[in-house]
Amino acid sequence: MLEGLLIGLETAFSLQNLLMVIGGCLIGTFIGMLPGLGPMSIIAIMIPVAISMGDPSAALILLAGVYYGAIFGGSTSSILLNAPGVAGTVASSFDGYPMAKQGKAGKALTIAAIASFAGGSIGALLLMVFAPALSSVALLFHSAEYFALMVVGLSAIAAFAGTGQVAKALMMTVLGLIMATVGEGALFNLPRFTMGIMDLQSGFGFITLAMAMFALPEALFLVLKPSNIQGGEGGKITDLRISRAEAKSIAPVIGRQSIQGFFIGVLPGAGATIASFLGYAVERNIAPKAEQEEFGKGSIKGLAAPETANNAACTGSFVPLLTLGIPGSGTTAILLGALIALNVTPGPRLMIDEPQVFWAVIMSMFIGNLVLLILNLPLIPYIAKVLSVPRNYLIPFILFFTLMGAYIGQNNATELLLLVGFGVCATALRFADYPLAPLLIGFILGGMLEDNFSRSMQLFDGIAFIWERPMTLALLTIAAILVVLPSYRARRARLRRAGTADGD
Amino acid sequence: MALDRWIALILLGVCLTYGYTAWFTMDDGLAPFMRRNPIWPSTFPKVLSILGVVASTIILLGLEKGEAKAGEIDYRKLGDYNIGQALLLLGLMVAYALCLRPVGFITSTAGFLILGSVILGERKWHLMVPVALCATLLVWYLVQEVLGIYMRPLPGFVGG
């Protein structure tokens, strides 16, 4: 391993590759900030550039830099505008945006930068140590377990996003899953629920839905209630520093979430989105009662958890790609395509045949995280200037970027009409206090959930997989407990309260 | 009945329609060889429709008691907010969607940005028009030249 490390260091520290890391991170951050352009689209755009370089190490280093730059940039727009451009940073807006609204945008961005750095670096360290071993763990998971794992993820999201309204959160998750079934599924090649409309053949666009659920209602709320926006002087980011006590309180969160996020990232299909939501849910659940109340209202732990977890998961998602040649997410699938175009086949032999590629990528992850921290922390006050733009200019621009994000993704004007329609529905749902995040997550996971469910059904010729595979049964039991427990606890608390009241 | 229960009623209707399609009409066109499969295209939707009906009924009947909390905006007093501006902006977005192809990107985007500011009460034309034009041209350049996605800049009859 030491020899590999030295080869990696030598390759990663060449001038060309250093420039690639810095360039990739900067491009990723700036484009990732724009709502609607996620890492997948940015990497897809950068592929021609990467391939034309001809050097696989440099290409992968550039694309990996773009990847975590985009995740970092996405969290910046989540915090400042509540308009997450990337699904993996949706959870960062839960507490990041309330902090920005309280005038603590600087602090929120610093915590995000530090948490991302720590998550990414610890993730890279784990990748270096565990990459070969972890591939065998991921291999143990069959589609039945993947299905069960996704159910656990969804129920955790539903149970925790609802703040005591589990039924509403569950309804939104199911609605997301229902929306995911619209269009042509990969397994059956049959159009379902399209009502004969050609534009629905390929299903709803993820970006359109994300924009409609988050960016558009937020912009409409800004219009409806002008006091929501900070205005001129509020945009000044002054307090970048975090206190010793704050650092102390987020340190264990960062430690836990780096590890948890990394391992979730390793599992194909899970990735940064589940890692961030699960990280948020776990931290919220294990926090002391007083701090639990803070979650969703600007808790620093609630921001550090998803930020650490999503970056650690991004690093983790490289494990199946580099060691098995199986992409675990859309983004790593694009990276796989780029590598094959450069005549490198990722897989178990990559470490033996092309050690410089394998180790240089890992080394460049450390450099990339450092670049993000060093470049972005000082740049934060400038990045945050977005907030000081007057409302009359800011709102049309947010709306425009929302429209553009949906349009560029699909190149279809019907998508814009869908965006406005869904946006109005989402605003009504927000009025009635329905949580919107579970809908989007249900939508993202819907396809994968159904694929894995179908595959297990086919393998076991029915639903026998539920009891024939103990791990699946255990995971599904956990999912059921997650859904029932909050209502049960709330009910007991209410009965107890009522009981004491009667006694008085 | 509160808004959340009205919405639950609508969602119940959606789930019932969805469920009806999944349970009764979807499998009609299924090829015979696919019927031997343990899983049909309608299997997963069937499960979802049951879950959806259960969840929406729980909300509709108010079985799960939650603590009532004041939302960010009280929908009962929508008239107190800038509802007119919001509706006009939504209308503008629909107009933008319909105009983007026929009128061209630059014309419709600049128009959208300027009119959007005007709806929100901006009257500094000397600032508004240059900002909108610069932003439009910059985005068009990025999308067209850097990303390589074709967007007709001007209306067809001007040669765009």
Task: Determine if residue A193 is left, alpha or beta; phi over 0 gives left, psi from -120 to 50 gives alpha, anything else beta.
Answer: left
Q: How confident is the model at residue A477 (pLDDT cuts 50, 70, 90)?
A: very high
- The answer on pLDDT for B88 being more than 90 is yes
A237 neighbors A384 (Cβ within 8 angstroms)? yes
Chain B residue with Cα closest to A495:
B65
Residue B106 has pLDDT above 50, yes or no: yes
Chain B residues 7-36 with a CB less than 8 Å from chain A = 7-8, 11, 14-15, 18, 21, 26, 34
H/E stretch holding A333: helix A330-341
Q: Residue written as tokens 């103990």?
A: A470
pTM of the model: 0.71
Taking the C-alpha atoms of residue A498 and residue B67, their distance in angstroms, rounded to an integer, is 14
Name, of A97-106, A383-392, A434-443, B46-55, the range with top average pLDDT. Answer: B46-55
What is the C-alpha R_g of chain A?
22
Dihedral of the alpha carbons of A86, A90, A92, A94, in degrees to the nearest 10: 160
Q: What percent of chain A has pLDDT over 90?
A: 7
The pLDDT of residue A348: 65
Higher-pLDDT residue of A410, B115: B115
For residue A504, the model assigns a pLDDT of: 38
Per-residue model confidence (pLDDT) at position B111: 93
Structure tokens, A339: 């590598």
Distances (CA, A) of B18 to A178, A261, B4: 8, 36, 21
Q: Is A331 exposed, middle or buried (0-12, 13-18, 19+ CB in 10 A)?
A: buried
Q: How sure is the predictor about A164, in pLDDT bands with cuts at 50, 70 and 90?
A: low
The pLDDT of residue A288 is 83
Residue type, A210: A
How many beta carbons lie within 10 A of that of residue A110, not counting itself?
A: 20
Kindly determine whether residue A193 and residue B58, on different chains, have CB atoms separated by under 8 Å: no
Q: How far is B97 from chain A (nearest CA, A)?
A: 6
- Stretch A371-391: mean pLDDT: 71
> What are the C-alpha distances in Å from B7 to residues A88, A148, A196, B54, B85?
28, 30, 26, 14, 24
* CA atoms of A396 and A410, how far apart (whole Å): 22
Q: Shortest CB distance from B143 goes to which of A408, A424, A490?
A: A408
Contacts A164 to B, Cβ<8 Å: 66-67
- Does B154 contact chain A (CB < 8 Å)? no
Spatial separation of the C-alpha atoms in residues B104 and B153, rounded to whole Å = 5
Residues 92-121 of B with CB under 8 A from A: 93-94, 96-98, 100-101, 109, 112-113, 116-117, 120-121
DSSP letters, A154-165, are HHHHHHHHTTT-
Say if residue A230's pLDDT is above 50.
no
Distance in Å, alpha carbon of A449 to nearest chain B alpha carbon: 9
**The tokens 């621009």 sit on which residue?**
A397
- B64 lies within 8 A of chain A by CB: yes
Inter-chain residue contact A395 with B67, CB threshold 8 Å = no
Contact: B120, A392; criterion CB under 8 Å:
yes
pLDDT, one tens digit per residue, over A291-339 is: 888 888 888 888 899 989 988 988 888 877 777 666 656 677 677 777 8
Is the per-residue pLDDT at A233 higher than 50? Answer: no
Q: Which of A207, A179, A219 is nearest to A406 (CA)?
A: A207
Positive or negative, the CA dihedral A302, A308, A312, A313 is positive
Q: Chain B residue with minimal CA distance to A42?
A: B147
The tokens describing A248, both together, are 């102390």
Report whether B11 contacts A174 (CB < 8 A).
no
State the pLDDT confidence band at A502, using cuts at 50, 70 and 90: very low
| Residue B134 touches chain A, beta carbons under 8 Å | no
Supply A358's token pair.
């394998």
Q: Which amino acid, residue B89?
A: L
Most confident of A40-54, A364-378, B80-94: B80-94
pLDDT digit string (tens) for A1-30?
677 778 888 887 888 888 888 888 888 887
Which has more confidence, A496 or A110? A110
Segment B57-65 shows an average pLDDT of 83
Of A165, A193, A392, the CB nearest to B122: A392
**Mean pLDDT of the B127-154 span:** 83
Residue A394 has pLDDT above 60, yes or no: yes
Joined tokens for residue A422: 């869904």
Residue A432 has pLDDT above 90, yes or no: no
Phi-psi region of A484 (alpha: psi -120 to 50; beta: other; left: phi over 0): alpha
Question: Which amino acid is present at A86?
Answer: V
Q: How far is CA A274 from CA A113, A323, A422, B77, B138, in A?
A: 20, 22, 23, 37, 35
pLDDT band at A229 (very low <50, low <70, confident <90, very high): very low
Measured between beta carbons, the chain A residues lying within 8 angstroms of B149 are: 408, 411
Strand (E) or helix (H) holding A361: helix A355-383
- Please determine, for residue B160, whether its predicted confidence score (pLDDT) is greater than 60: no
Residues in A touching B38 (Cβ below 8 Å):
457-458, 460-462
Tell me whether residues B45 and A192 touch, CB distance under 8 A: yes
Token pair belonging to B153 = 């800049």
CA torsion, points A3, A8, A13, A15, in degrees to nearest 10? 120
Give the per-residue pLDDT at B13.
95
Q: How far apart are CA A284 and CA A297, in angstroms?
A: 12
- Residue A21 near residue A65 (C-beta atoms within 8 A): yes
Residue A459 corresponds to which amino acid? Answer: L
Q: What is the mean pLDDT of chain A?
A: 79
How many Cα atoms sit within 13 Å of A221 on the Cβ side? 24
| Structure confidence by residue, pLDDT tens digits, A23-73 | 888 888 877 776 555 676 667 667 767 777 778 888 888 888 888 788 887
More confident position, B70 or B16? B16
Chain B residues with beta carbon closer than 8 angstroms to that of A397: 113, 135
How confident is the model over B20-60, as pLDDT tens digits?
Answer: 999 998 888 788 888 888 888 888 999 999 999 999 999 89
**CA atoms of B95 and A422, how far apart (whole Å):** 16
Residue recorded with tokens 């979650």 = A295
Residues of B in contact with A187 (CB under 8 A): 41
A411 against A469, higher pLDDT: A469
Looking at residue A38, its pLDDT comes to: 62
User: In angstroms, what separates the C-alpha of B143 from chain A's closest C-alpha?
Assistant: 8
B73/A225 Cβ within 8 A: yes
| β-bridge partners, A184 | A191
Residues of B with CB below 8 A from A227's CB?
Answer: none
Q: Residue A183, SS3?
A: strand
Q: What DSSP element (H or E) covers A84?
A: none
pLDDT at A268: 57
| B45 interfaces chain A, CB cutoff of 8 Å | yes
Which of A251, A381, A293 lies closest to A98, judged by CA?
A293
For B50, residues 6+ apart whose C-beta sits below 8 A from its C-beta are B19
pLDDT at A84: 67
Place of tokens 């690639």: A20
Query: What pLDDT was estimated at residue A503?
Result: 34
Q: Closest partner residue to A178 among B26, B48, B66, by Cβ?
A: B48
The tens digit of pLDDT for each residue in A280-294 reads 888 888 888 888 888
What is the value of ipTM here, to two decimals?
Answer: 0.89
Residues of A within 8 A of B46 (CB-CB) are none
Each domain of chain A, given as residue ranges in start order, spans: 2-503
Asked if residue A235 has pLDDT above 60, the reply is no
CB-CB contact of A323 with A135 (8 Å): yes
Give whichever of A220-224, A304-308, B15-19 has the largest mean pLDDT: B15-19
CA proximity to A452, closest of A303, A190, A297, A267? A267
Mean pLDDT of all residues in A204-226 = 78
Q: Between chain A and chain B, how many beta carbons pairs sit less than 8 Å apart?
A: 175
Task: Fill in the DSSP letter of residue A191.
Answer: E
Q: Are residues A58 and A20 in contact, defined by beta-carbon separation less than 8 angstroms?
A: yes
Which among B4, B45, B86 has the least Cβ separation from residue A433? B4
Across the interface, of B6, B7, B117, the residue whose CB is closest to A392 is B117
SS3 A268: coil
Question: Cβ A192–B116 below 8 Å, yes or no?
Answer: no
Inter-chain residue contact A174 with B117, CB threshold 8 Å = no
pLDDT at B67 over 70: no
Going by pLDDT thresholds of 50, 70 and 90, the confidence category of residue A82 is confident
d(CA B155, CA B160): 5
pLDDT at A125 over 80: yes
Amino acid at A409: G
List the single best residue of B33, B107, B120 to mutate versus A (max A Cβ within 10 A): B120
Q: How far is CA A355 from CA A1, A57, A463, B120, in A?
A: 10, 10, 44, 58
Which of these ranges, A122-136, A154-168, A273-287, B75-89, has the smallest mean pLDDT? A154-168
Helices (H), chain B: 3-20, 43-61, 83-103, 105-119, 125-141
The residue of B46, B78, B93, B138 whose CB has the most chain A CBs within 10 angstroms, and thus the best one to mutate to test that interface, is: B93
The pLDDT value given to residue A496? 76
d(C-alpha A458, C-alpha A465), whole Å: 10
CB contact under 8 A, A461 and B38: yes
Q: Is residue B122 within 8 angstroms of chain A, CB to CB?
A: yes
pLDDT score of A160 more than 70: no
Of A85-99, A227-241, B106-120, the one with minimum mean pLDDT is: A227-241
